[in-house]
């Protein structure tokens, strides 16, 4: 089945630094990728939708200048948390879907646990 | 806002069938019903999806009501490893616009 690889799985950073999370589709062309954030004991919250070669569409309340999303190729999307603060500590998850049969399902990465000190 | 509602928690005895309900009364004609599950600190795992016909795969069965306003995920012989949060979502497939909004899900606990 289709695989989405997310890296890193865990990152600890100092407040004020930026962190980049990568999401790769390994065996299909991901025309659309989604980024979610999940706090402990809560559901996944959609942050943004990115289509390859286009600017990301952010959900209401999500700061686009803080959470930079790049989807420059059909196999890679990145989420950069800029000037991270402790309140940005969360579990970040990407998902991807593609064209044709690959659009039937959403494939999820394994998630990135971000801890900002 | 999430388009689905699920009971917050359910218990099931090991070896018995687990039936997880989901209401999606505002589902559109081109939206599919998807089920995923999430084990702590992992990404959601795909289980099954369907449009209007009942579906079955090696993991589970999906029963969708004729009016498509609700569905039930059936795990035929639950094991301890099936303990997880189960999410029912609706999304448009076969289009790049098919974003998915997650509700709160059902925490299924399989007990020995």
Interface contact flag, A105 B87, Cβ < 8 Å:
no
- For B72-104, write each residue's pLDDT tens digit: 999 999 999 999 999 999 988 755 555 677 889
Please tell me the number of Cα atoms within 13 Å of B105 on its side-chain side. 22
DSSP string, B11-75: EEETTS-EEEEEE-TT--TTEEEEEEEE-TTS--EEEEEESSS-EE-SS-EEEE-TTSSEEEEEE
Q: What phi and psi, each to the nearest 5 degrees, are found at residue A46? A: -70, 130
Distance from the Cα of B110 to chain A's closest Cα (Å) equals 18
Confidence (pLDDT) at B97: 53
Confidence (pLDDT) at B92: 81
- For B6-37, write each residue's pLDDT tens digit: 999 999 999 999 999 999 999 988 889 999 99
Contacts of B87 in chain A (CB under 8 A): 43-44
Return the closest-CA partner of residue B85 out of B6, B3, B1: B6
Q: How far is A53 from A68, CA to CA, in rounded Å?
A: 14
What's the mean per-residue pLDDT of chain A? 90
């Amino acid at each position: 089945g289709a695989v989405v690889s997310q890296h890193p799985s865990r990152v600890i950073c100092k407040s004020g630094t930026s962190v980049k999370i990568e999401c790769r589709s390994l065996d299909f062309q991901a025309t659309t990728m989604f980024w979610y954030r999940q706090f402990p004991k809560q559901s996944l919250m959609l942050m943004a939708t990115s289509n390859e070669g286009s600017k990301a569409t952010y959900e209401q309340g999500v700061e686009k200048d803080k959470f930079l999303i790049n989807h420059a190729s059909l196999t890679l999307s990145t989420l950069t948390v800029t000037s991270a603060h402790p309140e940005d500590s969360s579990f970040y998850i990407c998902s991807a879907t593609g064209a044709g049969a690959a659009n039937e399902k959403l494939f999820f990465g394994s998630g990135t646990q971000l801890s900002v000190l | 806002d999430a388009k689905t509602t699920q009971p917050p928690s359910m218990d099931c005895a090991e070896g018995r069938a687990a039936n997880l309900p989901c209401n999606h009364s505002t589902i559109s004609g081109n939206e599919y019903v998807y089920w995923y599950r999430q084990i702590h600190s992992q990404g959601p795992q795909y289980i099954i999806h369907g449009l209007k016909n009942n579906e079955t795969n090696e993991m589970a069965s999906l029963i969708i009501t004729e009016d498509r306003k609700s569905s039930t995920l059936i795990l035929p012989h639950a094991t301890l490893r099936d303990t997880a949060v189960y999410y029912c979502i609706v999304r448009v497939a076969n289009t790049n616009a098919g974003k998915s909004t997650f509700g709160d899900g059902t925490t299924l606990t399989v007990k020995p």
